[in-house]
Amino acid sequence: MQQSGNENLVNSTKSNIGGWLFLSLFCLIGPNCQDRQQPVFSTFVPIAPSYENIKLTLQPDTLHFQLGAKIYNEIKSFNYFMNDGLAYISFYDRRSESIVIYNFHSRQLCKQLQLKRILKDKQFYKVSVYTQNFDSIYVTNLDKLYLLDSAGRISRTVQCRDGIENIAFYDTYVPIVVKQNIIYMGLRPFVKESSLPAIRKWKVLCGFDLNKASTSLYYPLPSIYHKGLYGRRFLNYSYCLNEKGNFVFSFPADTSIYETNLTDLHLAYNARSKFQAAPIEPVSDEALKKDEGSKEYALRDAYGPIYYDHSTHRYLRIVKHKIAKADFDAQNYRRSYGIIILNQQFKIIGEFLLDYDILLDSIMITQVGEIYARVNKDDENALHFVRLRWNEDQPMTKK
C-alpha cells in the first residue's frame, strides 16, 4: 500500500512536472505567438514583363514659384489641388512654419498661413500638410491630425493611437486617401530597426475617423520583412491609389508591389528592375548596431516611391541602383536611378534609367495628367518643377 502510495506520488509528481512544463512552454510561446503578427498573405499574380520603348522625357516647359522674403526653400510637403475650378499648389515651409498656397497657373502667391498662430503653444515636430481645398487643410504634428480651413480655424483634432509611436504624415509618395469617412495616412517608420518582433508588429497605415475621433492601424509589412532585418532606410515605403480605389504598395526591399483594399483583396505583382542582378539581402544585426545602415543601404538595390498616373493608368515605380563597394570606399556615393512602368493590369511595360536630376519623392501628377517633378532644391528664391512627358505622346515619336 505504501509502495502503491509512493508510485502514486511519483506518478502524480511526474504528471505535475509534465503539467508545469506544458504551462511553462505555453507561457513562453503562447504570448509570443499572439504578439507575432503574421504578414498579409497576398496571392502572387505572375505576369511576364514586356519592355517597350516607353519612358518619361524632360520637357522644356517648367514651373517656377518665386519665394518671398519670408518664404524658404525648406519644403516638407506639397500637393496640387483644385478649388472652384482653379488649380493651386500648397507647400509646407518648415523654416517659416507656414502653409503657402500659390495659384498653379499664374504662379502668384495666394495665401500664407502661419501655423504657429494657429497651433498656439504647440511644440512642432515632423509637421506635414495636405491641402484638399480652401475649406479642408490636413495638418499632422507629433501624434495629432488637425483639420483646418484657410482662415486658420481648426474644426477637428484627432490623436493617433499609441501616442508618438505612431506619427502619421502626408507626402507625395504617401498620399491622403479618404474612403468611407476614414482618412488614411502613412505612418513614419518610427520602429526599432534592429527588432524583428517590433517590425513584424508594425503597421504602415493610420486611419482617422473624424466623426468618432478615433484611429485604427492597418497593413503590416510584407513577408520579406518578417524574415530578416533591413534597417530603417528600407522601411520608407510608398503607396498610391489606383482607379479601383485600391492601395498599391511599394516597399524598398521587395521586388513585388501589393494591391489591396485592406479587407479581402490582397494581390502581389512582379515589379522587379531588369537591372537588379541579385536578391536584396537582409542587413546584419551587427551592421545596424554599428550604425552602418546607410552604408548597407547604399550597397543594395532598393525601390522607392510608387505613383499612379490616372490619365494613362500607368504605375511609376522608382528604383535606386546599388553602388559598388569600391565606389563607396572612394566616397563616390552617387547612385543611378530608374523608373519601372507598369500598365493598368500590372504588367511591366518599360524601364528606363534617369538621365536627368529630379527629386524622386516629389513627382506630382495634375488633374489633367501633367507630370511634374521638383528640381534645383537649393535655389533659395524659387521652387522649380520640370515637366515630364511620355515619349509616345511627343510629336516626334508619333511619326
Partner 1 sequence: MTKYIVLLIAICSFLACNESIKKPENTEFISDTVTQAAVFNDLIKLTNNSIEEINLKDSMAFLILPVKLSCPACRKKTIDSIVKHQNNMPDRHIVIISAAEGIKNIRSYFEEQHKELPVIKNQLFLDSTHQAYKYKLVKENPVIFYALHQKVYKKVLAIPATVKDDLCDFFSGPQDFKPQNDNR
Which residues form the interface with partner 1 (CB under 8 A)? 70, 72-74, 95-96, 378, 380-381
Nearer to partner 1, 32 or 381 (CB): 381
Nearer to partner 1, 181 or 381 (CB): 381
At closest approach, how far in Å is the CB of 391 from partner 1? 34
Q: Please answer whether residues 31 and 332 qualify as being in contact, where contact means their C-beta atoms are separated by less than 8 angstroms.
A: no
Nearer to partner 1, 69 or 277 (CB): 69
Residue with cell 508591389: 257
Distance, in Å, from the CA atom of 197 to the CA atom of 37, rounded to the nearest integer, reads: 8
Nearer to partner 1, 72 or 234 (CB): 72
- The runs of H, that is alpha helices, within 302-354 are 325-329
Nearer to partner 1, 70 or 105 (CB): 70
Residue with cell 499612379: 308
**Segment holding 398, helix H or strand E:** helix 395-398
Q: Please answer whether residues 248 and 239 qualify as being in contact, where contact means their C-beta atoms are separated by less than 8 angstroms.
A: yes
At closest approach, how far in Å is the CB of 334 from partner 1? 13
Spacing of C-alpha 129 from chain mean position: 15
Nearer to partner 1, 95 or 192 (CB): 95
At closest approach, how far in Å is the CB of 69 from partner 1? 8
Distance, in Å, from the CA atom of 352 to the CA atom of 57, rounded to the nearest integer, reads: 10
At closest approach, how far in Å is the CB of 75 from partner 1? 10
Read off the DSSP letter of residue 6.
H
At closest approach, how far in Å is the CB of 96 from partner 1? 8
| CA dist 26 → 31, 197, 267, 328 (Å) | 8, 18, 34, 48
At closest approach, how far in Å is the CB of 323 from partner 1? 17
- Residue 346 CB contacts under 8 Å (≥ 6 apart), including other chains: 45, 47, 257, 259, 269, 271, 315
